[in-house]
Copies of this chain bind each other. A is one copy, B any other.
């Protein structure tokens, strides 16, 4: 499908997204954040959580489902934690603030933790990690979606949970480790993408109403729909089930905003942000050396396929980012259709595609 790729200059695209969001009702500050972090998702290769979500963000702003101005309010706090209500402000505006506040706490207390209720969709967690790693901090992020049921508990065929992502950022002497995974066998966005591209999933990640395992993305949109299996699948799915509960408890239960409160909140998220200051435990330099040693052991580990050396989480994402900043940000034909719908919705013209777009 690379023949169908359209490329845009990063700066022009950022400008377009920013203007589109302002046109839809966002303040300049909020538009700047949402445009930047959605596009950061694309740069890093998280194409299901990049500008493809700009249309939704503009719609939510127009419909009042996302706030175009305002600030999160503090529900409660202690020295190393806070609970914020984002009042449906866009996630890409709230999460960077939370990382900043958690970093300040971590510098004082060793860790800083913020849970957030009612954040509008926060998109790609990976996009936020470098905010912390650039300050020498370790950061973990999780979110869940009170309005979504797509993942079954282990042993069930009924969707109960959202497909919850977990992200980790760790500084090293070189590039940071950037991890962003879901605790389910796949994410809803990947099933949507497979359906749009009319291809099977790369493995049987879905369980049908009949209790059968399938790789058919269409089953997820059937009535009744199939459910996504937790990480670990048929034999080890109790692990992904446990990790999903971990994420739902630290996001929804701690922020006291679960499916009984936010069942009609669409894509809005409950969020966990934790920043750890390694220098609270010992010299920062010694911590970085530990990480360097660990990552070096991984790089040196004998690969199964001699042509595929072991990669560090985030390594390919950072390569993609550097490449796309240079050659332009690439979009598939399916994503282009969504960008064009956004163009029509808010009336801001897309920049001209780069001529060497193929």
Contact = CB atoms under 8 A, between A and B. Distances in A.
A60 interface: no
A322 interface: no
Contacts of A152: 301
Interface string A288-310: 00110110011001111100111
B281 A156 contact: no
Contacts of A160: 297-298, 301
A293 to B, nearest CB: 6
Given A153-B301, A156-B301, A235 B202 contact: yes
Contact of A281 (B81, B158, B290): B81
Interface in A223-250: 231-232, 235-236, 238-239, 241-243, 245-246, 248-250
A242 B231 CA distance: 13
Contacts of A258: 290, 293-294
A280 interface: yes
Given A156-B303, A158-B302, A293-B259, A313 B79 contact: no
A75 B281 contact: yes
A179 B245 contact: yes
A252 B290 contact: yes
A83 B303 contact: no
A108 interface: yes
Task: Identify the interface centre among A76, A231, A239, A241: most chain B CB within 10 Å of its CB.
Answer: A239
Chain B CB within 10 A, most for which of A203, A298, A308: A298
A291 B242 contact: no
Interface in A111-162: 111, 113, 115, 138, 140, 152-158, 160
Given A75-B282, A76-B280, A113-B110, A297 B259 contact: yes
A236 B76 contact: no
Give how many copies assemble into the complex: 2
B109 A304 contact: no
Interface in A340-357: none
A242 B181 contact: yes
Given A170-B249, A249-B294, A111 B81 contact: yes
A278 interface: yes
Interface in A246-262: 246, 248-250, 252-256, 258-260
A98 interface: no
Contacts of A236: 185, 203, 231
Contacts of A246: 140, 168, 179
Given A113-B276, A181-B243, 16 more contacts: A77-B110, A79-B110, A156-B301, A168-B245, A168-B249, A179-B245, A179-B246, A181-B238, A203-B235, A211-B304, A231-B231, A231-B236, A249-B294, A250-B276, A252-B294, A259-B293
> Which 3 pairs from chain A and chain B are nearest by CB?
A81-B110, A78-B110, A253-B290
